[in-house]
Amino acid sequence: MAKKNTVLYLMLIPGILLTFIFNYLPMGGLIIAFQKFKPWLGFTGSPWVGWDNFRLMFEREDSLQVIGNTFAIAGLKMLSNLVVPIVFALLLNEVRQMFFKRAIQTLVYLPHFLSWVILGGILLDMLSSQGLINGMLLPVFGIDRPIQFLGDGNWFRAVVVASDTWKEFGFSTIVFLATLAGINPAWYEAAEVDGASRWKQTLHITLPSMIPIITVVGTLSLGNILNAGFDQIFNLYNPLVYDKGDIIDTFVYRIGVLSGQFGLGTAVGLFKSFVGLVMIVTAYRLAYKLANYRIF
């Protein structure tokens, strides 16, 4: 069997090498979190400071602020990206015209493939003071004063969550549509014979059948609780919304790369990775306990 699959094993080599080079080899740089790192001195010449960078991380007010922002934005995204695809899948499942159904599914699926560089530019134009929303749509409803969507922290969070949901819910819907396609049609036929309406069938057949996959998707998303979306935030935020929109990834970029505080930036990133590891392990344990889902 091993000889038969030799070619397949050889095909894995480029992927393994790329993973090692870009994911495992850079982990040696985590030593910077315990140093007052100076690029001209390198890893071996930079002075060792132990846990000072981690202590500084928790003493800085902006560090605690970005951790809270990350949890808040990621949590809202997780909730929205779970509820909206479920509701949309249920509604789309009721469409009987296959051409219309596939057309809608394709349209909501396409934004997933657009980068945040493109979408960020579009949103910046649409949500500016003279953009489409403030310049044309709001005056129709009698709102003459422009809303600072990207200049007010509370509005910024709403824009971030809403735009991320719009971009990703079509892709997430596929999982739930596949679950709906696997439900035994005989159950619906028996329910119709008993006089159950479409709402009753959804309530007593469709939703209970979706609970296992909802549990799996919901629990596994806990592993991304600290991934609030660097690409999206970086392309949309500005100093006016740092108090509500700055997250760990953008904070590490500003502190570590732009400000040259490499030790502090690495310490914050290492803290995020550690918490993410704990959340991923917890999520898989919950998925196994609640839905008997496991990879290994």
Cα–Cα distance, 62 to 80 (Å, whole number): 27
Q: What is the pLDDT along the chain (296 residues), one digit of tens a residue?
A: 557 778 888 899 999 999 999 988 888 888 888 888 888 888 888 888 888 888 888 888 777 888 888 888 988 998 998 899 999 998 888 888 888 888 888 888 888 888 899 988 888 888 887 778 887 887 777 777 888 888 888 889 999 999 999 998 888 888 888 888 888 888 888 888 888 888 888 888 888 888 888 888 887 777 777 777 888 898 888 888 888 888 888 888 888 888 888 888 888 888 888 888 888 788 778 777 776 766 65
Residue 170 lies in a domain: yes
Residue 15 lies in a domain: no
What local confidence, expressed as pLDDT, does residue 1 receive?
Answer: 53
Residue 11 lies in a domain: no
In 3D, which of 195, 197, 121 has the Cα closest to residue 163? Answer: 121
CATH at 166? 1.10.3720.10
Residue recorded with tokens 């049609």 = 185
* CB within 8 Å of 183: residues ≥ 6 apart: 205, 206, 209
Q: Are 156 and 150 in contact (CB under 8 A)?
A: yes
In the chain, the number of structural domains is 1
- 203: which 2 tokens? 């309530």
What local confidence, expressed as pLDDT, does residue 186 receive?
Answer: 87
Residue 211 lies in a domain: yes
Residue 220 lies in a domain: yes
Cα–Cα distance, 238 to 229 (Å, whole number): 15
Cα–Cα distance, 243 to 65 (Å, whole number): 7
What local confidence, expressed as pLDDT, does residue 42 receive?
Answer: 82
What is the span of the domain harbouring residue 70? 33-115+156-229+238-291
What local confidence, expressed as pLDDT, does residue 145 receive?
Answer: 81
Residue 9 lies in a domain: no
Residue 53 lies in a domain: yes
Residue 62 lies in a domain: yes
